[in-house]
Amino acid sequence: MTTSVPKMPLPIHIPDREIIDPSIDLEAEIARLKKERNAIILAHYYQDGEIQDIADFVGDSLALSQRAKGTDADVIAFCGVHFMAETAKILNMGKTVIMPDSDAGCSLADRCPPDVFSEWMEQYPDHVVVSYINTSASIKALSDIICTSTNAVRVVESIPADKKIVFCPDRHLGRWVMKQTGREMVLWPGFCVVHEQFTARKLVKLKRLHPTAQLIAHPECEQSVLDMADYIGSTNQLINYVVDTTDVDSFIVATEMGVMHQMRKRRPGVEVIGAEPASGCECAVCPYMRLNTMEKLYLALRDLKPEVHVPEDIAKRALAPVEKMLALG
C-alpha cells in the first residue's frame, strides 16, 4: 500500500529555486557582480547581519529612500521589503531595481489594498492623506504626503492646523503621532505582525530579570508597550540612542532583532536584549525581510531579477508625495 501526502495549502508561494554550490564564495561573487553591473546594494537594518555587512549602505526607510534618490549606479539591489524597493524605483524609473526575493512584502502594505482604501476614503473627502512609507505605490499615488517613523511627527506638523488628516496604514504609529503633535487624525486600522507581538505583560517580566536595562521601542508597537518605554524611535533613532546613551549599559529592544547587529557593532560590549514576541518564539524577526538571503542576492545580481516594476502613471502620481516628504527631510 502506498501512502500519498495530502495536498495542503502552503502559507506562501514557494518558487523553485536554484541550489547554489555551497563552496562558492558568495561575498566575493556578490562583490564581483556588483562591480560588473555598476550596482549599489542598499539594505535595511532588519536584514541578516551578513547582508548588512556586504551592503554599500544600511539604513532606515527614510535614509534608504534618500540614498536611492542620489545614486548614480545603474542597478539598485534592494535588500529590504517590496514597498522599499518600489520607492527606490519610483525615484529612479530609468534604473533597474532588483530584490533578492520579490515575495518580501509587509503586513502593513499588503493589508491596505488601494480599492478598499479608496472606498473607505469616500467618508473623508476633505482630509489630507498622510501615508506611512510602508504602503504600495498605488496607495502612495492616492496620498498627499508620505512619512516614515523618523519624520512622521515633522510631516504631520507641516500640515496646516485647520486641515483634517487621515493617517494610514499603521494605527499604532498614528496614535503615537497624535500624542506627540496633539493633532486628531482618522486612522486606518493596520498593524505590523512583528511589532504587535510585543506585550506589556512579557516586557514587565523581562524588566524584572534585567532591572537596570532601559526599554526602547519602535512606534509600531502597541500603546501599552510604548507607555512602558524609556525611549521610542525609528530603527535608526533606536540604534543612535544605544550608541549615544553611554551611561546605560543594557537595553531591552522592542523591534525586529536585525537592529541589534548594528547596536553591537557600533557599541561593542553593550548588552542588548531582544524583547520576546507573545507567540513564544525567542526572537522577533520579520518573516518578510528574512526571505532575503545571501544566495538570493547573488542570484539577483547574476540574473538581474526579480526586477521591481511600477506602472508609469502610478509612479508619476506616487513621486509627488514622496518628493514632498524628502523635501522636509
Single out the residue of 192, 203, 217, 252 in contact with ligand SF4 (rule: CB under 6 A).
192
Total interface residues for ligand SF4 by CB under 6 A: 13
Asked if 170 touches ligand 13P (CB under 6 A), the answer is no
60 binds, among ligand SF4, ligand 13P, none (CB under 5 to 8 A by kind): ligand 13P
Total interface residues for ligand 13P by CB under 6 A: 11
Single out the residue of 148, 151, 197, 292 in contact with ligand 13P (rule: CB under 6 A).
148
Burial class (CB in 10 A: 0-12, 13-18, 19+), 201: exposed
Q: Got the DSSP string for 80-130?
A: S-HHHHHHHHHH-TTSEEE-S-TT---HHHHTS-HHHHHHHHTT-TTEEEE
Single out the residue of 61, 92, 107, 136 in contact with ligand 13P (rule: CB under 6 A).
61
148 binds, among ligand SF4, ligand 13P, none (CB under 5 to 8 A by kind): ligand 13P
Count of other CB atoms within 10 angstroms of residue 40 = 21
Distance between CA atoms of 222 and 45, rounded to whole angstroms? Answer: 21
Within a 13 Å sphere around the CA of 298, how many CA atoms are in the beta-carbon half? 18
* Residues 103-142 within binding reach of ligand 13P (CB under 6 A): 134
Task: Give the ranges where 218-277 is alpha helix by DSSP (H).
Answer: 223-228, 235-244, 259-266
Quote the least distance from Cβ 24 to ligand SF4, whole Å. Answer: 29
Termini Cα distance of the chain: 67
Give the gyration radius of the chain's Cα atoms: 20
Q: Which is nearer to ligand 13P, 71 or 148 (CB)?
A: 148
Single out the residue of 39, 141, 289, 301 in contact with ligand SF4 (rule: CB under 6 A).
289
Q: Going residue by residue from 199 to 238, which x/- string records binding to ligand SF4, judged by CB under 6 A?
A: ---------------------x------------------
Only one of the segments 26-34, 64-72, 104-112, 158-166 lies at the binding site for ligand SF4 (rule: CB under 6 A); that segment is 104-112
Cell output for 130: 498622510
For residue 42, list its beta bridge partners.
57, 78
* Residues 185-204 within binding reach of ligand 13P (CB under 6 A): 192
Single out the residue of 60, 101, 222, 256 in contact with ligand SF4 (rule: CB under 6 A).
256
235 binds, among ligand SF4, ligand 13P, none (CB under 5 to 8 A by kind): ligand 13P
Return all residues near 224 (Cβ < 8 A) that are at least 6 apart. 199, 200
Distance between CA atoms of 100 and 50, rounded to whole angstroms? Answer: 14
Q: Going residue by residue from 219 to 238, which x/- string records binding to ligand 13P, judged by CB under 6 A?
A: -x-------------xx---
Distance between CA atoms of 77 and 61, rounded to whole angstroms? Answer: 15
Q: Is 167 helix (H, G, I), strand (E, B) or coil?
A: strand
Binding site for ligand 13P (CB under 6 A): 60-61, 134, 148-150, 192, 218, 220, 234-235
Q: Which residues bind ligand SF4 (CB under 6 A)?
A: 81, 106-108, 134, 192-194, 220, 256, 286, 288-289
